[in-house]
Structure 1
Amino acid sequence: MKKRVVLGFSGGVDSAVSAILLKESGYEVHGLYLDTGSAENIENVIKAANKIEMPINIADVKDRLNDLVCKPFAAAYAAGKTPNPCIVCNPEVKFNALLREADRLCCEHIASGHYARAVNGQLFKGQAQNDQSYLLCRIKKEQLVRLILPLGDYNKEEARKIAREHSLDSADKPASMEICFIPAGDHAAYIENLGIVPKPGRIMFEGRQVGEHDGIHKFTIGQRRHANIAAGERIYVSEINAETGDVIMGRLHDLMSNRLYVNEIKYLTNPPEAESRCSVRIRHSKQSYEAKLIPMRADSGIVIFTEPARAATPGQTAAFYDGDRVIGGGLIEKAYKLDREN
């Protein structure tokens, strides 16, 4: 009897190729499309599922997405933080829906088209070119133990090649970098349309005011801004003060941090009981930093970098690794600048 799996299916090249690989491995694959409100997408998804002869169901996740992802995303930006909604959505919306559908259909496994590896209930990096393990660092253990990631040993171009071999319409479509609930990519307008009024304030550089702004939600740490500053070198947003509304500009040195305070840590392995060495990613990129992780409470800790980290940003996620294995991840609450103690 074939093993059965529920695959998160968007109709894009990653999920379509995942379906093909699962079927070639002998699985009975059931697709699940997460409906966030686009009727046009549903038509395309059904067409793509029919092309690969896979049954497809639709789960309405609009309310859950709004409550657990969209509203907190907007509130965090309005508070001067820079959240990553995909890291929240994966465990709370996407894999939650996949598990419910798998239980309903009596399927042993769930699957997604992320470029990472799930092996024996542990999560590992995928191929370096397209590794997406960072986006999965806060999923739940009960989700991970049933998760299959068919693209773990592939890169994007290899996936596209498979899609071409099967004449899939998605084979050469460009990858979307947009947040799914902000299709225009304008997060500031999205926040304002929700009726949230972020704090305006001053733009400061070296203790003096050099301008004004109409909302801290339009800034993020590390962002280059063209301000009226004759500094002789590149200037960046180095700090956002949510209480006063001040946006502090600085030089490259002012972006560097040697410590982080991280909370709401979700561990995919046994939580460390004492100080331990690890590598840390502070955004969705290939760059990682060697560090010590010092646990405090069950879900918080201090990260001390071996070398300073650039543009560590409150609201973003710090993902912890032991080699290729993902230990877990938490939210950056505070980044300590090189020349400051608090």
Structure 2
Amino acid sequence: MDATTLFDPALDTAGLFDLTRPAKDSRIVVAMSGGVDSSVVAALAASTGAEVIGITLQLYDYGAATGRKGACCAGDDISDARAVSDRLGIAHYVFDHESAFREDVVEQFADDYLAGRTPVPCIRCNMGPKFTDLLRMAKELGADCLATGHYVRRITGPAGPELHRAIDPARDQSYFLYATTEEQLDYIRYPLGGLPKTVVRELAEQAGLRNAAKPDSQDICFVPDGDYAKIVRSLRPEGGKPGAIVHAQTGEELGRHKGVIHYTVGQRRGLEIGGLPEPLYVVGLDAEKAEVHVGPKIMLAVHAAQIIETNRIGPLPDTPLTAKVRSLSKPVPITLEGPLGGGAATTIRFEQPEFGVAPGQAAVIYAGERVVGGGWIDGTG
């Protein structure tokens, strides 16, 4: 089929990819997960008239363990990516990255939970298999750029490409991409960042893509049923070691638990320690002692957080900064105390006490809509 006629000519598809050469002389590699977003990116790329190559990384197939396929880059998703590529008339390749994904992402996920931390494996995946490996492949194929279906915007600023939040706040994925390096950002394109999801689905229907109505993935790809503890226990059986639920202020044992892997900082439900005068929350985990520390909500209030392995995208601005410490939280005003970037450790201080700041999660720093950088939360104060 002639993919250049898929969309309304008024839609500047070439402009979405910021190509420096005429489209007919360009090559675009598209990271295809099998979902509707990356499929639309492939269709948009093909409609420019450029040569398009779709690449799918087979990261994990959880079907053998659960009877279900994963939510990304496994089983049925690969089939969908291949069908979309056939529909668009573009080349499509699948590369087996299960071994690297297991080592870099899944094993780290289990270790973090076992250490009482709250991991964010999607960031680890973006830092490793998805960007590092895909970018290398794209360059080896002589591509002008690598395009993905992430909802963020790449905007050229005075100092070069900048990473900005998506137009659609409900779809914004900038939290998961703070570790993108300046070199990567120079090469990667995010054509969906300026579009609402409703328009993306309309474009999928216009292009006749079979996955146009495919539901969005809601879970971590290798935990499709949402049972994180089961995954951790299968990899690290010691994580199911029972222990005490201890009041963080009094030291009193209030109950017993079946393993720290079942709890995260800020959790209230599932403690099974009723009959107390006030609600208690998980305020800390001591994996070595197999203790879950609980306390009143005020104990979750944090004034500062130490972040490590920091990354900075572009120069630090003079304007006020904000930070997100969870993917679904709103950015809150902060100040930086120390350098940011190059892997350095630094401290962020909250203007107002912030609740539920958990070691293992990421703190992502913004200047307005622009992503300045961020790091992993290593401790709080």
Instruction: State the TM-score, normalized to the length of structure 1.
Output: 0.91
Q: Is residue 237 from structure 1 mapped to residue 260 from structure 2 by the alignment?
A: no
Match of 2:356 among 311, 323, 329: 311
Match of 1:293 among 323, 336, 339: 336
Match of 2:181 among 120, 125, 140: 140
Question: Would the aligned equivalents of 1:22 and 1:150 in 2 still touch at CA under 8 Å?
Answer: no
Amino acid at match of 1:97: D
SS of 1:7's equivalent in the other structure is: strand
Alignment map for 1:1-342 (pairs within 5 Å)? 1-36=24-59, 37=61, 38-120=74-156, 121-127=161-167, 128-198=169-239, 199-205=241-247, 206-207=249-250, 208-226=252-270, 227-270=272-315, 277-295=320-338, 299-336=344-381
| Between 74-83 and 187-196, the greater mean CA deviation after superposition | 187-196
Distance in 1 (alpha carbons) for counterparts of 2:260 and 2:120: 17
Question: Would the aligned equivalents of 2:110 and 2:236 in 1 still touch at CA under 8 Å?
Answer: no
Deviation, 1:53, is 2.4
- Unaligned ranges ≥5, structure 1: 337-342
Distance 1:47 1:307, change over 3 A: same
Q: Provide Cα deviations, 1:123-161, integer angstroms capped at 9, x if missing partner.
A: 111021211111100122221110100101012222112
SS of 1:68's equivalent in the other structure is: helix
CA-atom RMSD in angstroms: 2.0
Deviation, 1:310, is 1.5
Amino acid at match of 2:268: R
Deviation, 1:251, is 2.5
Question: Would the aligned equivalents of 1:225 and 1:235 in 2 still touch at CA under 8 Å?
Answer: no
| Between 291-300 and 59-68, the greater mean CA deviation after superposition | 291-300
Distance 1:234 1:160, change over 3 A: farther
Distance in 2 (alpha carbons) for counterparts of 1:64 and 1:9: 18
How many pairs align?
334
Question: Would the aligned equivalents of 1:276 and 1:292 in 2 still touch at CA under 8 Å?
Answer: no
Question: Would the aligned equivalents of 2:41 and 2:191 in 1 still touch at CA under 8 Å?
Answer: yes
Question: Would the aligned equivalents of 2:35 and 2:80 in 1 still touch at CA under 8 Å?
Answer: no
Distance in 1 (alpha carbons) for counterparts of 2:89 and 2:266: 46
| Between 306-315 and 57-66, the greater mean CA deviation after superposition | 57-66
Distance in 1 (alpha carbons) for counterparts of 2:97 and 2:362: 23
Amino acid at match of 2:302: S
Amino acid at match of 1:176: S
Distance in 2 (alpha carbons) for counterparts of 1:155 and 1:234: 39
Distance 1:286 1:129, change over 3 A: farther
Distance in 2 (alpha carbons) for counterparts of 1:49 and 1:232: 60
Distance in 2 (alpha carbons) for counterparts of 1:250 and 1:20: 52
Amino acid at match of 1:124: H
Deviation, 1:250, is 2.3
Question: Would the aligned equivalents of 2:46 and 2:88 in 1 still touch at CA under 8 Å?
Answer: no
Deviation, 1:16, is 0.9
Instruction: State the TM-score, normalized to the length of structure 2.
Output: 0.82
Deviation, 1:33, is 0.3
Deviation, 1:197, is 0.9
Amino acid at match of 1:317: A
Amino acid at match of 1:237: V
Distance in 1 (alpha carbons) for counterparts of 2:329 and 2:205: 27
SS of 1:330's equivalent in the other structure is: strand
Distance in 2 (alpha carbons) for counterparts of 1:213 and 1:17: 46
SS of 1:99's equivalent in the other structure is: helix
**Identity score, percent:** 33
Distance in 2 (alpha carbons) for counterparts of 1:139 and 1:43: 29
SS of 1:203's equivalent in the other structure is: strand
- Unaligned ranges ≥5, structure 2: 1-23, 62-73
Distance in 1 (alpha carbons) for counterparts of 2:84 and 2:43: 12
